[in-house]
Amino acid sequence: METAEIVRRFLAFFEDNGHTVVPSASLVADDPTLLFVPAGMVPFKPYFLGQRTPPYDRATSVQKCIRTIDIEEVGKTSRHATFFQMLGNFSFGDYFKERAIPLAWELITKPVAEGGFGIDVDRLWVTVYLDDDEAAAIWRDVVGVAPERIQRMGVEENYWSMGVPGPCGPCSEIFYDRGPAYGAEGGPIADEDRYVEIWNLVFMQYERGEGGAKKDYPILGDLPKQNIDTGMGLERLAAVLQGVDNIYETDTLGRILQETAARTGVVYGADERSDVMLRVVADHVRSAVMLVSDGVRPGNEKGGYVLRRILRRSIRNLRLLSGGESSFLHDLTDTAIKAMAGIYPDLHRGAERIHEVIDTEEKNFADTLRSGTALFNRAAERTKSAGGAGISGADAFQLHDTYGFPIDLTLEMAAEQGLQVDEAEFRSLMQVQRDTAKRDAKAKKLGNADIGVYARLLEGSGSTDFLGYTDHEGEARVLGLIVDGASATAARAGQQVEIVLDRTPFYAESGGQLADTGTLTVEGRGSIDVEDVQKPIPGLFVHRGTVTEGEIVVDDTVAAAIDSDRRAAVSRAHSATHLIHSALRNALGPATGQAGSENQPGRLRFDFTANKALDTAELAEVEEEVNTVLAGDIPVRYFETSLDEALSMGALAMFGEKYGDRVRVVEMSDYSRELCGGTHVGATGQLGVVKLLGESSIGSGVRRVEAAVGIDAFRRLSKESLLVGRLSEQLKTPSEELPQRIDSIVSRLRTAEKEIERLRGAQVLQAAEGLAKSAREVGGTLLVSHTAPEGTGADDVRKLALDVRGRLGEDRPVAVVVASVPKDRPVVVVAANKAAQQRGLRAGDLVGVAAGALGGGGGGKPDVAQGGGTDPGALDAALRAVAQRVADAQ
């Protein structure tokens, strides 16, 4: 039975039994505590926690899931996978054990001809929690399972909680016996390799308190409503129904694995090491396809890091399998799309975009892998020659920071050579980098309140009606206040407050458009400056600001008014973003897609996917095209329709964005048509003018254009015109000839700078002969100490030290130390001949002494080394310190 048919049967069975079929949520979790959805119940978590009222009593779904905690085990076992799918049925206070258990048994054992899975009852075993006599009795007396096939297990195996205070309860699991060839008899207690768990039924009936994640917590009492949460791994069930040994041989993963084997010329089953690599590639390619289809892009943080990590593991394993460079990833991506499209038809529609993202990452990593591998090999060779057992954290960090090597890849490569990696040092360096990088936007998006506070407000008051498409002001009622992260009944002058209204003209930041600002006024009693508006959970507008006078109280009626001039400027920027998107697609091709944006008053940035930079001519063409559309004063139309209808009209959807059944379309004739919830102008002529300010790379395969719009664009153009006029006047050159004139001046200037550097270097080297003659004997070593003229560059200092050392020959020990201050920071170079090295005077050690006196550090080879510091006034002290070390080496 193919995987797609398993899905169809499962959903049809539970729909026939009164369950609402709920589509899979995105892999990217809505829950701010999670990166990805790791289990089938996660989208229903607010219902189980009582944060929201479920719109149905019974539900069933096939949920896409990602888990990366065991990524190193992927391919080594028959169970671990990064991406997997959970078949589930859920009851929210409707039925409980008495219904959940028989339903599960019926579907599993019902003949295939009657719509079931037709598994032989003699192959099935069940487990229950130690003291769950109720579940055991249902299995035995209602379902008819033989008592000897019902086994009891403890907290670790058969008790569930979320790991935090909230719902908990016993579990009951169904196991499939694979037969004597796979292990010992005796049921799941005896051998879980032979007896494979295929379905877990969770009975949420108690409320737990604070304590450990799995155990050692108190049971506070019964839940007001008993709930059912079940999960059956689709891949495991497919392996059972298709009669294969493991999930990698099923019809979906198996197609990718066999294609990988064929492309690399490796026979699956011939060698365990290559089998593991084939399974890793199959799992990771499928996982990458599903992540990209849900809008994740390779990056160095959060979900982007996970995607980059699995893609790069795939690429490296492909190279190891093929014995060199490979370019198979595109074909394997295509195989994965076709293998999964039977369950997720949208993969076909997004195939071009998926290929673009994955192909770009493969291309970029090819260069990274070559450069990074060479650096790793040098570090490994250095470690081994020094008799060490580990790669330093600094080397691992450089691999990550400079070459994009995930630490996991460095760990794998080190393990292959019998080396370890100083992970503690690596993590420390990573933390320093994070601390100096831009701060996370979490405080802005979620404020100081717990997500539960917002959920309770939404549950109690309902969603906020947005009036802002038509109105810039209006009356509203205060539904809730949050002060210092907690619900409050009032807020007074000077306090920062979050306000939830029943209706609002304020746009909440989303879709790249910044939030509105404005005021809320309680007549005769108080006013609030609104500085930001966010939607921490869907449907709830939270106005953040400061009470400037008086007070505001829950149930107050307020006059809400936005800053209309600011809104107009932001709307112009947002409309310009749509036009730039269309112009870029016309210039670069339809595969060019939006990867992010920000629309603020008079300015915008637009991020897009592209494999190359736009040159000056292409950028000018995009700008001209956009402004030609503005001149046409095309009306901007907005309307709502179904998602399918919008897509059939050619409306562009933001890649990876989540849309409901009804969507809003923003249309500018046939030139631009996009799904968008933002605010826009009434006609393109209202934008005035759009001026592109530049284009740059912001990541692998993602580029950014920035632009000024309207009066801001005019001011920019006015300043540029004034600047061009002044240059033309000063250089006595017509404006159209300025580029050539400036190029000529810059060229002459560079030539003059090079000549000055040459003359300065020659002057410095002229001192070599005199310095060699000035060598003094210190403890049997000829020592030359010299401070070069201020401004002498490090290269010239190095050349001078080597020249002097060469003039003194190899007959006697020679050490030369030359220092200078090229750019406010001192530099020192030490050169030592072989005779000096034999006496223990190594250049790297001596430069460390000098650099220490300068307040810095340095290093190098035994014959020549360079260092520096921060204290230019310590040059004499540095030279004296080296002389003392030479004297001590007698």
Q: Which residues are annotated as a binding site for Zn(2+)?
A: 574, 578, 676, 680
Q: Tokens at residue 819, please? A: 């220092």
**Cα(166)–Cα(161) distance, integer angstroms:** 8
Cα–Cα nearest to 544, from 553, 556, 535: 535
Residue 520, H or E segment: strand 518-522
Cα–Cα nearest to 474, from 482, 487, 483, 465: 465
Handedness of CA 482, 484, 487, 488 (dihedral sign): negative
630 CA to centre of own chain: 36
Q: Are strands 503-504 and 465-466 parallel, antiparallel or unpaired?
A: parallel
Q: What is the DSSP string of 198-210?
A: EEEEEEEEEEE-S
**Cα(149)–Cα(563) distance, integer angstroms:** 70
Handedness of CA 448, 452, 454, 460 (dihedral sign): negative
**Cα(887)–Cα(11) distance, integer angstroms:** 86
**848 SS3 class:** helix
Backbone angles phi, psi at 884, to 5 degrees: -65, -40
**Cα(804)–Cα(209) distance, integer angstroms:** 77
Residue type, 490: A
**40 SS3 class:** coil
Residue 152, H or E segment: strand 150-153
**Cα(845)–Cα(849) distance, integer angstroms:** 7
Residue with token string 């009622």: 477
Residue ranges for the known binding site are 574, 578, 676, 680
Handedness of CA 29, 30, 35, 38 (dihedral sign): negative
Q: What is the DSSP string of 604-666?
A: EEEEEE-SS---HHHHHHHHHHHHHHHHTTPBPEEEEEEHHHHHHTT-B--TT----SEEEEE
Residue type, 247: I
Cα–Cα nearest to 535, from 476, 457, 643: 457
